[in-house]
Structure 1
Amino acid sequence: MYEFLTVPQIITGILWQLLPVWIALAVVLSLSFFFRRSLGLYGELFGSGVGIAGVTLCYFWLFTALFASLIAPFNPLAQVLIMKDSLPGAIDPESGRAFLLGGDRLARDIFSRTVYGSQIVLLIAPAATGFALMVGTTLGLPAGYYGGRIDSILSFLANLVLAFPVILLFYLLVTPGIMETPIPYAMAGVFFLFPIIFFATLFYTRNKHRPGLLAIQLGLTVLIGGWIYAGLVFNADPFGIIAIRPNELNIFVAVVFASSPGVFRIVRGLVMDIKTRDYVAAAQTRGETPWYIMLWEVLPNARGPLIVDACLRIGYTTILLGTLGYFGLGLSPESPDWGTAIKDASRLLRAFVHPALPPVIALMSFVLGLNLLADALREQSLKD
């Protein structure tokens, strides 16, 4: 049988394991607060308690994901059979190291799995939300600016996707049967073109009269965009940096597909309002092209609501990933993501409560941080 740490020792042990996070937090928050007057919208977040709390929680999980290999005392997939369903603070007799938050039903360290689970959440949720913003923005700009038939067609397609229940839509997109078909790769091939198109159009409209600078920008866009595109869609990154498994690609594509229509409707509504402003009329009088006006006159003035929506959408995506993991969809069964951990712990919830609490608290705190950050950003945008 194994020995146990006391409650103060468990708390001290957790705080000590998170030492890299505390150091990084202290450095980043101190610098951010000191230079807040020159950091624009980000610096203004440090003028309110809500903003500081939101930034701190988000940074905490960001640094936890970055330093996971330093923080976690065990491999998240390693099994120590004697530690099956062990209580928090149980010490492994062989290694002498403690399972700070106990062991799960497969004798894996809960603390290490919670730490490594943050990597999956912070990799998929922000990246998928970013791609959804690109798709929704690229389609929402012309719909709101031109109106007419273009708006009718794009709005109909967006409403068609929004008419599906979200859970059912994700269930259809991430079931194992779909993974074996070319559908996810075809959808990825279409969606992942949008960032390349967006940035190429952005640079062209700005620098079309400066061919030297434009050639450099377009060349970098094609090279970097093509490298990321090849890695995500064809799993053919020549450097081996971008590697995504089919089940992760399915989730990624499903999030982009489900989130893009919501972004589209927000951008479309903002553009319909902003295009009536005087500075847009002035740009039209100067003879600027429609895409220049959309990208360089309208979009910068719509950034406040879009940034707030992005924060909230990352939180929604995080909850959605947890829901999919709970239902056993998408990620592999041994994945340390928080949703899968909650599902595994719920099977023995009446006998052992401790395996379920860490992933639940982690998921709740990260989403809370994003919501607080969105509230602070909304307050600042209203002041502006």
Structure 2
Amino acid sequence: MQFETLGFFGILFGVVARFWPVWIGLGTVFILSTRYRKVLGLYGHLFETKVGIAGLAICLFWLFTAIFADVIAPFGPLEQIPLLKNAAPGTIEPETGLPFLFGGDRLARDVFSRMVFGSQIVLAIAPAATLFALMVGTTLGLPAGYYGGRIDSVLSFLANLVLAFPVILLFYLLVTPGIRETSIPQWLAGFFFVFPMIFLSTLFYTRFSGRPGLLAVLIGVTFLVGGWLYAGLVFNADPLGIVSLRPNELNIFVAVVFASSPGVFRIVRGLTMDIKTRDYVAAAQTRGENPWYIMLWEVLPNARGPLIVDACLRIGYTTILLGTLGYFGLGLAPESPDWGTAIKESSRLLRAYIHPALPPALALMSFVLGLNLLADALREQSLKD
């Protein structure tokens, strides 16, 4: 059966047209950011270099793609049209008249739509897991570097013990089907997900201990929101039904936090050991400030540059790991549109049909490239500061 197909320029125009919400979002952000660049601090300095602009543009492109995926994608990520199995790029679906811009896969699903929806999964897991790893590593790295001694020895030994395992092997052990059936991921999640509440509570207490009314409100909001997220993420018991993680998603999330936290710990520990010798820290100690106040409000702000750079790079590493796990069948569910799983599904018929594998592979590569460019620009600016 013959289907009408678009030519190269028709496909190109169709892809550009489908991303219209992204172009509007990018234009709005760049116009406002350029106008108020001088008051935006470190973010504003990104617009002073071509590398920073390019990295930011790529990252924002995928962010807006994830936000407006329902508008951009012409088909659902699981929608199957049997007539278009392994369809060539640009093949038009006869009933709706909408094209399979990047063709169809072996299960007759639109490759373009699955790539778009895959961005939602990547941008939901990688940054959030990296943020949790930053909080865990920072909460443990600050006292290790500041106090030293036995605290430093114990925490450093535990961090080095985790770092001694190859990352891929560690991920394999944590997301293998046998582990999924146990309560180990849930126990690890319960342990790690407490750290954000500890971190924020300590942050507010050290800053607003002299204002008990405001402190009570901030602590109350922290535990209210934190408890809600904790119940949804760890026990899948969100009373509002908004926050939840499926078992395989929880395993991956926990694996990322577990594998990334020791690296963050070592960076924070090293920065703290250096910064605590500065004059402004000695001045705070002379004033009689609480050690945790010094760590959170004197040391940590002056370590933000390297930590921001590391966070960008770590999100990229996490994205690659998610893709690797998906390729080996250890990631999300087989029907998931995440880029790693999509590459794995497409690789089965790679010699006969190469077009289903290219879009998710290029999407993954471009997002990681954008994060690396962004990290390079931030590193240059942090050196200037």
TM over 0.5: yes
Q: How high is the TM-score relative to the length of structure 1?
A: 0.99
Whether the 8 Å contact between 1:113 and 1:336 is mirrored in structure 2 is yes
* Aligned residue in 1 for 2:259: 258
SS at 1:85's partner residue?
coil
SS at 1:75's partner residue?
coil
Report the number of matched residues: 384
Matches of 2:244 and 2:158, distance apart in 1: 31
* Aligned residue in 2 for 1:378: 379
Q: Which shifted more, 177-186 or 116-125?
A: 177-186
Whether the 8 Å contact between 1:175 and 1:330 is mirrored in structure 2 is no
Displacement of 1:177 in angstroms is 1.2
Q: Note the 1:208-287 alignment, pairs <5 A.
A: 208-287=209-288
* Aligned residue in 2 for 1:184: 185
Cα deviations across residues 94-128 of structure 1 (Å, max 9, x unaligned)? 22211000000111000000000000000000000
* Aligned residue in 1 for 2:71: 70
Cα deviations across residues 358-379 of structure 1 (Å, max 9, x unaligned)? 0011001000000000000000
Cα deviations across residues 50-91 of structure 1 (Å, max 9, x unaligned)? 000000000000000000000000011011111111110011
Q: Which one-letter code corresponds to 1:12 in the other structure? A: F
* Aligned residue in 2 for 1:330: 331
**1:6 correspondence with 2:7:** yes
**1:151 correspondence with 2:152:** yes
For structure 2, which runs of at least 5 residues remain unmatched after alignment? none
SS at 2:354's partner residue?
coil
Q: Which one-letter code corresponds to 1:168 in the other structure? A: L
* Aligned residue in 1 for 2:292: 291
Whether the 8 Å contact between 1:131 and 1:256 is mirrored in structure 2 is yes
Q: Which one-letter code corresponds to 2:279 in the other structure? A: D
* Aligned residue in 1 for 2:127: 126
* Aligned residue in 2 for 1:31: 32
* Aligned residue in 2 for 1:194: 195
Q: Note the 1:135-150 alignment, pairs <5 A.
A: 135-150=136-151
Matches of 2:324 and 2:157, distance apart in 1: 28
Q: Note the 1:344-363 alignment, pairs <5 A.
A: 344-363=345-364
Whether the 8 Å contact between 2:78 and 2:109 is mirrored in structure 1 is yes
Matches of 1:299 and 1:308, distance apart in 2: 14
* Aligned residue in 2 for 1:319: 320
Matches of 1:215 and 1:78, distance apart in 2: 49
SS at 1:44's partner residue?
helix
Cα deviations across residues 300-339 of structure 1 (Å, max 9, x unaligned)? 0000000000000000000000000000003000000000
Matches of 1:292 and 1:92, distance apart in 2: 62
* Aligned residue in 2 for 1:43: 44
* Aligned residue in 2 for 1:162: 163
Whether the 8 Å contact between 1:74 and 1:109 is mirrored in structure 2 is yes
Q: How high is the TM-score relative to the length of structure 2?
A: 0.99
Whether the 8 Å contact between 1:338 and 1:363 is mirrored in structure 2 is yes
Q: Which one-letter code corresponds to 2:201 in the other structure? A: A
Whether the 8 Å contact between 2:106 and 2:346 is mirrored in structure 1 is yes
For structure 1, which runs of at least 5 residues remain unmatched after alignment? none
Displacement of 1:344 in angstroms is 1.0
Cα deviations across residues 27-56 of structure 1 (Å, max 9, x unaligned)? 111111111011000000001100000000
Matches of 2:109 and 2:122, distance apart in 1: 20
Whether the 8 Å contact between 1:304 and 1:377 is mirrored in structure 2 is yes
* C-alpha RMSD of the superposition: 0.6
Q: Note the 1:96-111 alignment, pairs <5 A.
A: 96-111=97-112
Displacement of 1:15 in angstroms is 0.8
Matches of 2:153 and 2:349, distance apart in 1: 51
Displacement of 1:240 in angstroms is 1.2
Cα deviations across residues 221-244 of structure 1 (Å, max 9, x unaligned)? 111111111110111111111021
Whether the 8 Å contact between 1:145 and 1:272 is mirrored in structure 2 is yes
Q: Which one-letter code corresponds to 1:201 in the other structure? A: T
Whether the 8 Å contact between 2:331 and 2:341 is mirrored in structure 1 is no
Q: Note the 1:46-57 alignment, pairs <5 A.
A: 46-57=47-58
Aligned-residue identity in percent? 77
Cα deviations across residues 125-165 of structure 1 (Å, max 9, x unaligned)? 00000000000000000000000000000000000000001
Displacement of 1:350 in angstroms is 0.9
SS at 1:322's partner residue?
helix
